[in-house]
Amino acid sequence: VRRNAGEPEFHQAVREVFDSLGRVVAKRPDYLEDALIERICEPERQIIFRVPWTDDQGRVQINRGFRVQFSSAMGPYKGGLRFHPSVNVGIIKFLGFEQTFKNALTGLPIGGGKGGSDFDPKGRSDGEVMRFCQSFMTELHRHLGEYTDVPAGDIGVGAREIGYMFGQYKRLTNRFEAGVLTGKGLFYGGSLARKEATGYGNTYFTQAMLETAKTSFDGKRVVVSGSGNVAIYTIEKVRACGGKIVACSDSSGYVVDEAGIDLELLQEIKETRRGRISEYAELRGSGVHFVSSEKGSIWDVPCDVAMPSATQNELMEEHATTLVRNGVMAVSEGANMPCTPEATRVFREAGVRFGPGKAANAGGVATSALEMQQNASRDRWTFQQTEARLATIMREIHDACYTVADEYGAPGDYVLGANIAGFIRVAEPMRAFGVV
């Protein structure tokens, strides 16, 4: 704790994995040798750097950039970049730690990393975002490479930002190294279905959990928090599977639409105009209401399935208690660590099927690895081909978590299953490499 002072999110993520490891070391005491567990918790490398840029008024602005290269045991570091004012080294470390196990769960050869900046893209012009991204990449590029470290998007980093960063990387290195970034535009090496992958993937994972209860999305009331990349494509896929999404949100509040969220309207507001969720209620008209975040929580809306897809620690103990009281049967994390440990405990104790983010939202990074495969072979797959691979990967992740939980005496406990399966896949190559 002293070594990582002031990093509560990182402590939370490590503690959550440690809680599951007791059962592993009881069976395999050799994992206690050579400080293996301590080594897994220590990032291989952390880079913190200055990002100076000029705003539209000609003033020089300074932000801080981060890249935490957590583990290369399974392959090149892989994980997104987050641009949000809340970003600090502890948040990036928690995300990098989670990413390492998540990437291992995909079964694909990718290590774990995460990065970003405290830059806030909200309200910034395209020119400002471009100058920021170019300055950020001017420093970061020396640490990247298709065999070294391959970033992608996350909160605040979408196709626009990836485009500016890839352009700058190409200019600085004089190499068209497509495999150095994922989430690229379709015209220059991006993969079809990458944009949809995290939301679709979580829907597949949840579907598999529902099947274990001999049911499906058909006719279920579903609440999805957020209205960004993960939320929008979760809404699309859940709707295609017969579920009805009755509420979604952004940081200003949430909307309830009993007729089912109108996805096309939501996309027009969020993806095209970069507007606020309150505009959805204004434009959709009667029967829809907006509740500001000071006045209530999206988790007060009764539902059968909850898919938190906004940000860390957005769903707390009292929200979990309300959801259980309202009869929720499955909760699956689209975001990274959206449920606090207390909320997770409430769900697990109530017997609610609970999909932890490191398993349920792994579809995004899995499809990023498929983008790397396409880039390496100078090939391009169809949407159907890519989505079919994604569906298979999500099914395999679900089954691995389910089987491992069973093997370790906790049937149906996906948290335990994901932590143990992920840990073993990272620990084995580390043992093979010796003390490194």
Catalytic residues: 114
Residue 422 engages ligand NDP in binding (rule: CB under 6 A)? no
Residue 291 engages ligand NDP in binding (rule: CB under 6 A)? no
292, β-bridge pairs: 253
Helices (DSSP H) in 44-158: which residue ranges? 89-105, 126-140
Binds ligand NDP by CB under 6 A, chosen from 20, 206, 249, 332: 249
Residue 364 engages ligand NDP in binding (rule: CB under 6 A)? yes
The minimum distance between CB 151 and ligand NDP, in angstroms, equals 12
The CB-based long-range contact list for 25-32 (8 Å cut-off, 24+ gap) reads 27/408, 30/431, 31/427
The bridge status of strand 112-117 relative to strand 60-71 is antiparallel
Binds ligand NDP by CB under 6 A, chosen from 138, 191, 207, 227: 227
Cα separations (Å) of 431 from 26, 37, 110, 324?
A: 18, 11, 17, 42
The minimum distance between CB 155 and ligand NDP, in angstroms, equals 4
Residue 182 engages ligand NDP in binding (rule: CB under 6 A)? no
Binds ligand NDP by CB under 6 A, chosen from 106, 117, 311, 344: 311
Any residues with CB less than 8 A from the CB of 303 and at least 6 apart, and which?
220, 221, 222, 223, 246, 247, 323, 326, 328
Q: Which stretch binds ligand NDP (CB under 6 A): 39-47, 148-156, 169-177, 255-263?
A: 148-156
Binding mask 96-135 for ligand NDP (x = CB under 6 A): ----------------------------------------
The minimum distance between CB 84 and ligand NDP, in angstroms, equals 8
Binding mask 71-90 for ligand NDP (x = CB under 6 A): --------------------
Binds ligand NDP by CB under 6 A, chosen from 250, 257, 304, 387: 250
Residue 257 engages ligand NDP in binding (rule: CB under 6 A)? no
Give the DSSP letter string of 260-293. Answer: ---HHHHHIIIIIS---THHHHHHH-TTEEEEET
Query: Which residue type is seen at 377?
Result: S
The bridge status of strand 60-71 relative to strand 45-54 is antiparallel
Cross-sheet strand order for the sheet of 77-83: 45-54, 60-71, 112-117, 77-83, 149-152
Query: What residues line the site for ligand NDP (CB under 6 A)?
Result: 153-156, 198, 225-231, 249-252, 309-311, 314, 334-336, 361, 364
